[in-house]
Amino acid sequence: RKEVEQDPGPFNVPEGATVAFNCTYSNSASQSFFWYRQDCRKEPKLLMSVYSSGNEDGRFTAQLNRASQYISLLIRDSKLSDSATYLCVVKPGGYQKVTFGTGTKLQVIP
């Protein structure tokens, strides 16, 4: 089983739709979780950290489910500019290294 798994997509959604991605991880000792966004041929950029209690930033909501070992990202009212690949990142406690998922591609359609 991969350390971090994501559905590669693509998810094709109309503008204004709500879309959700899940990411599963295998190491139950993982402590920190993040979502990054990567535009085509660009570097990944931090979208949000995922806190145990869940967190929201505008149209974006991240949730953590430790029991089932997955994190989720919900995007409401999708914009064309949300089109990108979303990378799930998992970090064990006490280590400097993180593990990146291979990403889920989102295409928002007019």
Of 15, 57, 65, 95, the one binding other proteins by CB under 8 A: 95
Query: Which is closer to other proteins, CB of 70 or CB of 92?
Result: 92
The stretch among 10-18, 42-50, 53-61, 65-73 that binds other proteins (CB under 8 A) is 42-50
Query: Under the criterion CB under 8 A, does residue 107 sit at the interface with other proteins?
Result: no
Residue 22, exposed/middle/buried by CB under 10 A (0-12, 13-18, 19+)? middle
Residues 106/86, Cβ–Cβ less than 8 Å:
yes
Query: Under the criterion CB under 8 A, does residue 87 sit at the interface with other proteins?
Result: yes
CA distances from 56 to 35, 61, 80, 110 (A): 12, 4, 20, 25
Applying CB under 8 A, the residues found at the interface with other proteins are 31-32, 34, 41-46, 49, 87, 89, 91, 93-98, 100-103
